[in-house]
A and B are shown apart, each in its own frame.
Chain A
């Protein structure tokens, strides 16, 4: 298995709070790594450090063996780091399709020069991107929502659109921040199926999730985090039976 992401000695603090304390992590292609831990453990912060929203105080991040410490947020996305958000951050004034259309790693609509002088190419790329977006929506059974405003959809579907938008980035690494929170029924099944498909297609996936059965169904390996530290790294079964986890997480 090829290693996609490696994190070495990541350190980050906000004032007195240490959100990342000498974090080491490695995720391989095709792997779904579960990241669990109590609220405030630093899981979202770790995603922010990996994707480039935050700068670490120390430590390094490698993507496919290449050090990316200097790359800003938008460049890391273009390098293939795709992520979702705990609170979705959908483009609320826009349609579902338009939400997805902004997502590809290369976006033709970003350069006015290109738009002004390469109209035919732009039209072709837009058509191809639209086809890809509709394909992703179809996989989720959401193609009929393409024209709706995202805010008009039920919560579970909004969560799926958040994933769909991120999947427009066809990079090697997928970071999912609590994809299941508040999701149930059909949307739950869909989310689970799509995440599995993405890993089978070769992506490295890391998922933050409180839903233990979701983690158990999808992940072969999981890490447990608390107060910025990774306290356990092993198979899901090992983790669930661990006394550290039950004490800190379930408060037993």
Chain B
């Protein structure tokens, strides 16, 4: 039971991560790989605050974690988008690797060993179910907020910006500020998910925010359907549930270990060729 709740919490947090990444790359058309680093910024901010400033309520810590991610994302997008859209891709990667290196080398972040002894906040037998409720609720809220953003007048503007940015700007639309806002919302949500993660697992390590994590979120978004409101939900659930389901088969370890990698690679290849728009993306190529 405990184990299933942990899996469900993890799925909920990854739904937030994938849905917000989808907002940034699928809808906003912004190229970035650094999404997990904003999750890390939220997780470390919340974790450190909860350790060093115990009088702050947990909710405030998570909100401050989001705020830290928002500030970092605005600085990153604001400075690099001015150069060019492609530059954001390079800058985001540099930012991710640089910040991870910094976290590894600083004393107060716990260094390469990670940050441990984060207070559990909620105690007792209901801890798991309560966390699941909070994380599930947050995931639902994020997905609905994103859906509201990409529908209606704002969504129309995003679509036009993705189609023809020059014509869009020449109609009087401030594409630059819209991109920064979209990036900040997406990264803020990732930061919030990081804060919840820190509280639930009470431990974070720099290793989990490496480029491999970027690839995992990207896979979730692509599998589910980039630029669809519920695609990332399906993608995140599948990508986390499949490996767990395989462990239930009780296969010997020497078969199990390569199995997951093979299945992921197969999934990505199958989707690339048969359903490039993802599970919920309909047939054909993504826009």
Contacts and interface: CB of A to CB of B under 8 A. Distances in A.
Interface in B150-176: 152-157, 159-160, 162-164, 166-175
A119 B131 CA distance: 33
B167 A110 contact: no
A33 interface: no
A92 B163 contact: yes
Interface in A140-168: 165-166, 168
A74 interface: yes
Interface in A66-111: 73-75, 77-78, 83, 85, 89-94, 98-99, 101-110
Contact of A107 (B157, B170, B185): B157
Contact of B156 (A51, A52, A102, A122): A102
A92 B181 CA distance: 24
A166 B153 CA distance: 18
Interface in B123-152: 149, 152
Interface residues of A, number: 36
B72 interface: no
A73 B170 contact: yes
Contact of A94 (B149, B156, B169): B156
B169 A107 contact: no
A165 B171 contact: yes
B178 interface: yes
Given A102-B173, A107-B173, A112-B181, A85 B167 contact: yes
Interface string A188-202: 000000000000000
A103 B153 CA distance: 12
A63 to B, nearest CB: 14
Contacts of A169: 171-172
Contacts of A74: 169-175
B164 A90 contact: yes
Contacts of B155: 109
Nearest to A122: B153
A109 B154 CA distance: 4
Contacts of A107: 153, 157, 171-173
A206 B4 CA distance: 68
A109 B153 CA distance: 4
Contacts of B159: 91, 93-94, 98
Nearest to A162: B167
A92 B168 CA distance: 12
Given A102-B156, A106-B172, A109-B154, 12 more contacts: A53-B166, A73-B170, A75-B172, A77-B171, A77-B172, A93-B287, A98-B159, A101-B156, A107-B157, A109-B152, A110-B154, A112-B181
